[in-house]
């Protein structure tokens, strides 16, 4: 029976006279090792997915992308510890001079001065000579009623006197605090008018007094003045005591 079926299949495969251009159906080859009565079965169901394969190799790096936008500023950090002082650098070049400043206030100037003259002849020795002709006494530190200069500003002072000598010899002394510190003597020449003078630097404290007087008895009282002859006494502050 099997052999008969195979012959029928061959006959059907031969072309007929009226159907020369009809293609014969494809005959599937019989698998090797199959039995003579083999027939194809129904297709089975798809199998289960296999185990995932291993990761492939890394790909080639791509091109560098565009720069992104700046991120938000983070919170301010804690102040760090002070670093070690570095080595002093080389001295720089002098800078450009600044603009001239505004004029400052004038410093206070200490003033004390006097210049006085004699109006009449002196007749009383051993007391201060009262010079009543005032040339300068703006600060009123000289007292014409006593003939004394009163120190109001401590410091160094300059004193001088110029005496006209007439009729008698002259011996005058400059006093400071009841003590004679300078003497001047001039001998009168008969019928001549002479001049005697002296000067000194003295440091005075506030309250000190300075004056001029005839020294000794009346025999040395030739201090003279008239409308054409003067006897003068002058003093002024050189610089005040900053202490």
* pLDDT 10s digits, 163-196: 988 888 888 999 999 899 999 998 888 778 888 8
In terms of average pLDDT, the best of 16-25, 75-84, 115-124, 175-184 is 175-184
**Over residues 223-232, mean pLDDT:** 88
Pair 115, 180: CB distance under 8 Å: no
SS3 labels along the chain? CHHHHHHHHHHHHCCCCCCCCCCCCCCCCCCCCCCCCCCCCCCCCCCCCCCCCCCCCCCCCCCCCCCCCCCCCCCCCCCCCCCCCCCCCCCCCCCCCCCCCCCCCCCCCCCCEEEEECCCCCCCCCCECCCCEEEECCCCCEECCCCEEECCCCEEEEEEEEEEEEEEEEEEEEEECCEEEEEEEECCCCCCCEEEEEEEEEEECCCCEEEEEECCCHHHEEEECCCCCCCEEEEEEEEECCC
For the cut 50, the answer to whether the pLDDT of residue 85 exceeds it is yes
d(C-alpha 180, C-alpha 89), whole Å: 66
In this prediction, residue 44 has a pLDDT band, given cuts at 50, 70 and 90, of confident
CB neighbour class for 230 (10 Å; exposed up to 12, middle 13-18, buried from 19): middle
Pair 125, 216: CB distance under 8 Å: yes
Between 3 and 170, residue with greater pLDDT: 170
Place of tokens 């990761």: 55
What pLDDT is attached to residue 20?
46
d(C-alpha 195, C-alpha 97), whole Å: 59
In this prediction, residue 105 has a pLDDT band, given cuts at 50, 70 and 90, of low
**Over residues 125-143, mean pLDDT:** 94
**Over residues 17-26, mean pLDDT:** 49
Q: How far is CA 203 from CA 21, 206, 224, in A?
A: 159, 10, 29
Task: Fold for 113-240, please state it.
Answer: Jelly Rolls (2.60.120)
Residues of the chain above pLDDT 70, percent: 81
What pLDDT is attached to residue 122?
73
| Residue 27 φ then ψ, to 5° | -95, 120
What pLDDT is attached to residue 194?
85
pLDDT per residue as tens digits for the range 192-222: 888 889 999 999 999 999 999 998 777 778 8
**Over residues 106-135, mean pLDDT:** 88
Closest CA to 204 of 147, 146, 144, 158: 158
For the cut 70, the answer to whether the pLDDT of residue 11 exceeds it is no
What would the two tokens of residue 90 be?
């080389």
For the cut 50, the answer to whether the pLDDT of residue 43 exceeds it is yes
For the cut 70, the answer to whether the pLDDT of residue 22 exceeds it is no
Q: How far is CA 18 from CA 10, 26, 234, in A?
A: 18, 20, 174
| Residue 70 φ then ψ, to 5° | -60, 145
Which residue ranges make up each domain of the chain?
113-240
Window from 17-21, 109-113, 228-232 with minimum mean pLDDT: 17-21
């Amino acid at each position: 029976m099997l052999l008969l079926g195979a012959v029928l299949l061959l006959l059907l495969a031969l072309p007929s006279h009226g159907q020369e251009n009809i293609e014969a159906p494809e005959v599937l080859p019989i698998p090797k090792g199959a039995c003579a009565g083999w027939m194809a079965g129904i297709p089975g169901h798809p199998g289960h997915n296999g185990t995932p394969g291993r990761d492939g190799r890394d790909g080639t790096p791509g091109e560098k992308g565009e720069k992104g936008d700046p991120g938000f500023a983070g919170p301010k950090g804690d102040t760090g510890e002070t670093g070690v002082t570095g080595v002093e650098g080389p001295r720089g070049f002098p800078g450009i001079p600044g603009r001239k400043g505004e004029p400052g206030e004038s410093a206070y100037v200490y003033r004390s001065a006097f210049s006085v003259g004699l109006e009449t002849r002196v007749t009383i020795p051993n007391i201060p000579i009262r010079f009543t002709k005032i040339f300068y006494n703006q600060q009123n530190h000289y007292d014409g009623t006593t003939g004394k200069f009163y120190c109001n500003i401590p410091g160094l002072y300059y004193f001088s006197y110029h005496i006209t000598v007439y009729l008698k010899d002259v011996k005058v002394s400059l006093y400071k605090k009841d003590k004679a510190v300078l003497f001047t003597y001039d001998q009168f020449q008969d019928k001549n008018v002479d001049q005697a003078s002296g000067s000194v630097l003295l440091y005075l404290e506030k309250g000190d007094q300075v004056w001029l007087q005839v020294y000794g008895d009346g025999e040395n009282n030739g201090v003279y003045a008239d409308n054409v002859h003067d006897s003068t006494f002058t003093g002024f502050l050189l610089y005040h005591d900053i202490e």
